[in-house]
Amino acid sequence: MIAHHEHPKSIIAHRPRVMKFGDDQKPTGYNSWPLYKNANHTEGDILFPTSGAGVLFPPHSLHPEALNTARFMALCPTGDDIFWFAMCVLQGTEIRAPSDAQTNIIDINDEEAKKVSLWDSTNRLGTNDVMIKAVFTAYDIYSRLKAHLKPMARNSASASESNDH
């Protein structure tokens, strides 16, 4: 709750992934995004909240389109995290992880449960990538993410140039 009190308008995610991008500035495959850890986080990273350890969505942090259940079910029926992420991008809401973010989840070693788990159907089969493409295309999320990445690329280039002198 400390993170929420420090950033009351931000979405606070305890177990986000750090999005990675290819040369085309589009996200790489979901399974290549590492789990957030303070040690691997740099300023400007785009965090993708996953609900495995809890996400706090303050009032008005999601675009009103978040209530369009028909669109959600058509685009990503098993990808609620994907839809929520798109809605926070549309709303312009910052995503943060608390300094004590919990990235370890206790695995329930139940073979029957694993056969029908959401993680299994979305991650192992690559369904997340299909749903990400559908949602990001439908809501023009790619261009919004590129706008965020361009200043970072300029900053990186400027830093490299100043290091060369």
**What's the structural domain count of the chain?**
1
Please give the residue range of the domain that contains residue 94.
2-102+110-164
Range scoring the smallest mean pLDDT among 13-17, 94-98, 141-145, 147-151: 147-151
Q: How far apart are CA 160 and CA 152, in angstroms?
A: 12
21 strand-pairing partners: 27
Identify the band that residue 165 occupies on the pLDDT scale cut at 50, 70 and 90. Answer: very low
Please give the residue that has the higher pLDDT: either 79 or 122. Answer: 79
Rounded Cα distance between 43 and 48, Å, is: 14
pLDDT of residue 138: 98
pLDDT of amino acid 152: 47
Banded model confidence at residue 111, pLDDT cuts 50, 70, 90:
low
The three-point CA angle 69-85-64 to 5° equals 45
Tell me, what's the pLDDT at 156?
36
Q: Which residues pair with 18 in a beta bridge?
A: 47
Range with the lowest mean pLDDT among 8-12, 19-23, 69-73, 153-157?
Answer: 153-157
| Mean of pLDDT values over 54-76 | 96
**Calpha distance 95→89 (Å, rounded):** 9
The CA distance from 25 to 16, in Å, is: 20
Structure tokens at 141: 């999320």
| Token output for 118 | 């959401």
Give the pLDDT band (50/70/90) at residue 102.
Answer: low
